[in-house]
Chain A
Amino acid sequence: EVLLVESGGGLVQPGRSLRLSCTASGFDFDHYAMHWVRQVPGQGLEWVSGLTWDGSITAYADSVKGRFTISRDNAKNSLYLQMNGLRPEDTALYYCGKDALRAAGTPTEGWIDPWGQGTLVTVSS
């Protein structure tokens, strides 16, 4: 069974940093692109970032470009999201998701399957 477990969320002041982690199991992690998607409670989904199976190609939403960095450690079956310069509008539930396409050359053509349960990030003073 594929399992994705996010961690690292919490309450943080505006302007500060936070690092999210996603630990994967149940599949060959180093063969799949991965994504972060966020959702303000009660609102819609917003894709944040994705990267290829080897981390060589990354992509970001305009709303986080230059502030967030996605990375992965295939030896640890882990995905990360380093979030700097946090703003109140970054407050959301952050989901980790596995790309459905195996060994895709880009993180921007597949679909997300499955999703983790999410970790809540609250940016407030």
Chain B
Amino acid sequence: SYELTQPPSVSVSPGQTASITCSGHKLEDKYVFWYQQRPGQSPLVVIYQDNKRPSGIPERFSGSNSGDTATLTISETQALDEADYYCQAWDARTAVFGGGTELTVL
């Protein structure tokens, strides 16, 4: 079965840029979606179709997808960006989620 691999944790200082990767075989052939989940809350999409931002999501959030790796980039990271982030793609009529990355802003 298809797998998406994310680093368990990423740390970033306030105001700096955070990059969260998501790796999968020939991932560039698929659309990747990114979800943010703050503690105690439901997930929220922050990037869809590799690099598109939903309305209401700050421009600080951006995405890319090339080769086997998709990347969520958060520029000028703020304390409120501290959350778990999950990548997701479709494979064989099944949604596959990455294991999630805990972003710590310190």
When each residue 40-70 of chain A gets 1 if its CB lies under 8 Å from chain B and 0 otherwise, what string results? 0000111100100000000101100000000
- The interface residues of chain A, by DSSP majority, are classed as strand
Instruction: Indicate which residue in B49, B54, B97 contacts A46 across the interface (CB closer than 8 Å).
Output: B97
Chain A count of residues within 8 A CB distance of the other chain: 23
Interfacial chain B residues near A59, Cβ < 8 Å: 93-94
The complex places the Cα of A50 from the Cα of B48 at a distance, in Å, of 18
Q: A residues touching B (Cβ–Cβ < 8 Å)?
A: 35, 37, 44-47, 50, 59, 61-62, 95, 100, 106, 108-109, 111-118
Evaluate whether A50 and B95 lie within 8 angstroms (CB atoms) in the complex, with A45-B100, A111-B33, A115-B44 already known.
yes
Report yes or no: B94 in contact with A111, Cβ–Cβ below 8 A.
Answer: no
- The interface residues of chain B, by DSSP majority, are classed as strand
Report yes or no: A115 in contact with B43, Cβ–Cβ below 8 A.
Answer: yes
Interfacial chain A residues near B44, Cβ < 8 Å: 113-115
Shortest distance from the beta carbon of B51 to any chain A beta carbon, whole Å: 13
Additional pairs, 20, CB under 8 Å, beyond known A59-B93, A108-B95, A112-B43: A35-B95, A44-B97, A45-B88, A47-B95, A47-B96, A50-B95, A62-B1, A62-B94, A95-B43, A100-B45, A108-B90, A108-B93, A109-B31, A111-B33, A111-B48, A111-B49, A112-B35, A114-B44, A115-B42, A118-B42
